[in-house]
Amino acid sequence: MDKLNFSIVIPYIHLFFRGALTAFEITLLAVLIGIVIGTFMGMGKMSRIFAVRFLCSAYVEIIRGTPLLVQLLIFYFGLPQILGFTIPEFPAAVLALGINSGGYVAEIVRGGILAVDKGQMEAARSLGMTYSQAMRYIILPQAFKKMIPPLGNEFVTLLKNSSLATTIGFPELTRAAQIVAGNTYRPFEPYLTAAAFYFVMTVSFSWLMSIVERRLAASD
């Protein structure tokens, strides 16, 4: 049995750090896109207009009911066939992850809004506020606190899912491990190193989110 030799990773360690940074960048941009889309879709699912509610619900069901990998492949390989031009790896990965995230954030937003006492909306309307004003100034600020924990979980999930970008050849963390494994003919050490990087990033972010949650709870 061959012994483990992590010294083979050292000459390539810069690839792992660069890949980790890229994975973080993809995740951050995708989450921002997901929050924007998810906010509109989550509120749209609660609309009194049937067409709006139907379209938003259909979006969420399609996104949540299809694999992220397939969505990514559609963006990178499928859309150029229709659009007539190639989408670079980075924007394809960000858009696919962001649109996918929007389907999950929509449910987070909807759940956060429903968690706010209905009396808050009634009180705001009785003071003369419109529905949009009540949502903007009364409901959403309260709902946002309730959304933070699941949004943190969504960030961690997307960070791990960013590894799928390697399927379109984008040089993120998992791709770095593939390059090292190909150059050294030793796959175990580089893939374990990549796993360690993901673990440190996700645990660190989860720890930061726990601090934020405690401070928000203390401010209530």
Report the distance separating Cα 83 and Cα 206, nearest Å: 39
Dist CA 63 CA 101 (whole Å): 8
φ, ψ for residue 47, nearest 5 deg? -65, 150
The answer to whether position 213 is within a domain reads yes
Answer whether residue 131 is part of any domain.
yes
Chain center to CA of 217: 24
| Residues 51, 58: Cα–Cα separation, whole Å | 10
Closest-CA residue to 9 (of 179, 205, 157, 201): 179
DSSP string, 194-210: HHHHHHHHHHHHHHHHH
pLDDT of residue 120: 85
What CATH number is given to the structural domain containing 90?
1.10.3720.10
Name the pTM for this structure.
Answer: 0.90
**The pair of three-digit structure tokens given for residue 17, joined into one six-digit string:** 């750090």
Residue 210 lies in a domain: yes
Q: The tokens of 175 are what? A: 């791709």
Task: List the beta strands (DSSP E) in 107-180.
Answer: none
Greater confidence, 64 or 130?
64
Place of tokens 């989408």: 87
Radius of gyration of the chain (CA): 21
Do residues 92 and 75 lie in contact, with contact meaning Cβ atoms separated by under 8 Å? yes
Q: How confident is the model at residue 2 (pLDDT cuts 50, 70, 90)?
A: confident
Instruction: Express as a percent the part of the chain with pLDDT over 90.
Output: 74
> Rounded to the nearest 5 degrees, what angle is found at the Cα of 5, between the Cα atoms of 187 and 202?
65
pLDDT tens, position by position, 9-59: 999 999 999 999 999 999 999 999 999 999 999 999 998 899 999 999 999
Which band of pLDDT confidence, cut at 50, 70 and 90, is reported for residue 127?
confident
Confidence of residue 217 (pLDDT cuts 50, 70, 90): confident
Mean pLDDT of the chain: 92
Q: Residue 183: which of 1, 11, 3, 56 has the closest Cα?
A: 11
Domain that holds residue 84: 23-219
1 lies in some domain: no
Domain count, the chain: 1
- pLDDT classification of 220: cutoffs 50, 70, 90: low
Q: Give 2's DSSP letter.
A: P
Any domain includes 145: yes
- C-alpha 103/C-alpha 78 separation (Å) is 20
* 159 occurs within a structural domain: yes
Instruction: Determine, yes or no, domain membership for 178.
Output: yes
Q: Is residue 2 part of a domain?
A: no
DSSP three-state, residue 166: helix
